[in-house]
Amino acid sequence: MHTLDRLSSLCCFLACATSLSAQTTLSNFTGPTADGWSGAIGTATVFPNGSTAVAGVNSLGNDVLELTDGGFGGGAYRTYTGLPTSGFVTISVLGRIVTDPVGATAGGTLSPDPNSNPGQFGASFGIAAGNSGLVDQEFGYGASLGTAANDTGQNFKRYAATVRADGSGEFTAFFTPDQLDATVPGGTWVVQFDDVVLVSDCNAETMLSDFSSGTDGWASLDASNSPFGSAFTTVAHGAGELVLTDAGFTGGAYKTYTGAATVPGVHNILVDVRIATDNGTIDRARIAAVAGGATTSFSDLSFSQSFSTTADDSGQAYAQFAVPVITTGPSDVTVYVLPDYDANIGGGGWDIRIDNVQISSPVNASTAFSSACAAGHHSFGGPVLSFGGVPSLGTNFTINGGNLAGTPLCALLFGFEIPPIDLTIYGSFAGSQGCVQALDTVLCSTFPTASFTIAIPADPSFCGLPLTAQWVDYDPTLVSGSVPLPLGTSRAGTFTIGM
């Protein structure tokens, strides 16, 4: 058994994440237990929808958290400690609406309010960094559990929210059943949660738009694609950035990125953003995203923390914001910039700039064989390289060798793949080639087969690390005056550490 501990220095020059452990369960409600979730909102905490707590927070015998209440306000929360102190943190949960009473008006009690401000959503899971003084702008929100219809009898679905750590290692997760919408009738609703997890940052980032040469297809919202009604935002190209301007409090812009999510899982959309001019018009300004094409329903969207406060934010410096999307396979992703939707705030011109739109996607463990480095077999027909399993975080991964000559000069090299080096210059026979810049060498201890097992740490700092392996052994039967050092070489095989 071999570990990668001594290779940790590789991460200093690779794009490796460093802050999170592998995916960690925060609450699975086994027991049964509510695991610290509460509806009793303390006076030191400003609940984001500003309303009273739910009446019931219970754990059932089938290991789920159940929330019940007789109205349309309320909520429940729990603060988790000992989590990452820097970078973006994503927490996800399985959720469903069990009972959604329908009154005299259309829709159910848990229906979202289409006139809410961005960030004040119906039936949403969200998180914020810290544990007190929490206000709406500080929360990241997942898509709404509720629609405009009666949602009774939903199946469990995964939701996620992302925020930036504040250094405390504490994060408050919460559920708000609905906003204070007087047009929605009261009624006892039941919502269940399960499997609250800290999502691993075993991700790789891909640039979607850097606005180096134009607007890259970003467009103003209109009635056909706006989740908040029509808008009149002007979309223009600045000096390496996208410039959004408007004279009112609605508006926004968007783009659908075709095939941006190439694998299933929880992705984060990263956007650099700043407010150049506010005039106090921009109250809750957020990046939003949805898997698929443009949507006219804001309940489909996940939302970032607000990049605005309640004050005049003119002259901001760029800061990066993140919003998660969840896919079950390859998918388009639509990204929105939504400056505000608050009829209580008077109109006034604003100017928002964005840059460097990226997608941070899960890295799946994989293996592949080099097309540039074929085998250079010796008289025994080997060596032959194969892999056992996949190189996932926290697992054992095996590199197998077959058809080995059984001489003392036999080794497995692993490190980084390099262009093939013709080994005839060292006295080997034609066809043998070296393809690895070796970081480690392991001598063979058995023949004609051998294996080498790596214990891959459950540490995302290794995530996305590509390593290449190649067997090399000496065949004395091929020694001649022109071939003093006959080396058999396997084809090179590359393994990428991931989830």
| Whether residues 320 and 429 fall in one domain | no
Q: The tokens of 481 are what?
A: 């005056």
Domain boundary among 342, 362, 382: 362
**Type of residue numbered 152:** T
What is residue 232's predicted lDDT score, i.e. its pLDDT? 66
Q: Is residue 25 part of a domain?
A: no
CA distances from 41 to 49, 80, 147, 176, 206 (A): 12, 15, 26, 12, 40
269 and 404 housed in the same domain: no
More confident residue, 321 or 124: 321
- Give the model's pLDDT for residue 327: 95
Pair (83, 191) in one structural domain? yes
d(CA 265, CA 256): 19
Rounded mean pLDDT, 94-123: 66
Closest CA to 267 of 166, 360, 174, 145: 360
pLDDT category of residue 11 using cuts at 50, 70 and 90: very low
Average pLDDT, stretch 445-456?
A: 87
The 10s digit of each residue's pLDDT in 396-416 is 999 999 998 888 788 999 899
Least Cα distance to 79 among 97, 91, 68, 88 occurs for: 91
Percent of the chain with pLDDT over 70: 81
Selected residue with higher pLDDT from 97 and 116: 97
Within-domain flag for 9: no
Q: What is the mean pLDDT of residues 63-83?
A: 82
Number of domains in the chain: 3
Would 3 be classed as within a structural domain?
no
Whether omega for the bond prior to residue 114 falls within 30 degrees of 0, making it cis, is no
Q: What is the mean pLDDT of residues 333-352?
A: 74
Phi-psi region of 375 (alpha: psi -120 to 50; beta: other; left: phi over 0): beta
Q: What pLDDT shows up at residue 136?
A: 72
Q: Is residue 35 part of a domain?
A: yes
For residues 357 and 409, membership in a common domain is answered with no
Q: Tell me: the pLDDT tens digits for 309-330?
A: 867 889 999 999 999 999 999 9
Is the same domain home to 190 and 267?
no
Looking at the predicted structure, is the pLDDT value of residue 276 above 90?
Answer: yes
One domain for residues 379 and 438? yes
What is the domain range of residue 378? Answer: 366-496
Strand-pair partners of 488: 473
In this structure, of 124-128, 247-251, 337-341, 426-430, the range with the lowest mean pLDDT score is 247-251
Of 311, 346, 362, the one marking the end of a domain is 362
Task: Determine the pLDDT at residue 105.
Answer: 53
Residue scoring higher pLDDT (343 or 91): 91
Tell how far CA 62 is from the center of its chain.
Answer: 29
Q: What is the CATH number of the domain that holds 119?
A: 2.60.120
Please answer whether residues 458 and 496 qualify as being in contact, where contact means their C-beta atoms are separated by less than 8 angstroms: no
Q: 298, 328, 362 — which closes off a domain?
A: 362
Do 212 and 347 share a domain, yes or no?
Answer: yes
pLDDT tens-place string over residues 142-151: 999 988 778 8
Determine the pLDDT at residue 21.
39
With bands split at pLDDT 50, 70 and 90, how would you rate the model's confidence at 494? very high
Residue 8 vs residue 496, higher pLDDT: 496
What's the pLDDT score for residue 181? 46
Q: What's the CATH number where 226 sits?
A: 2.60.120.260
pLDDT bin (cut points 50, 70, 90) of residue 69 is confident
| 47 assigned to some structural domain | yes
230: left (phi over 0), alpha (psi -120 to 50) or beta: beta
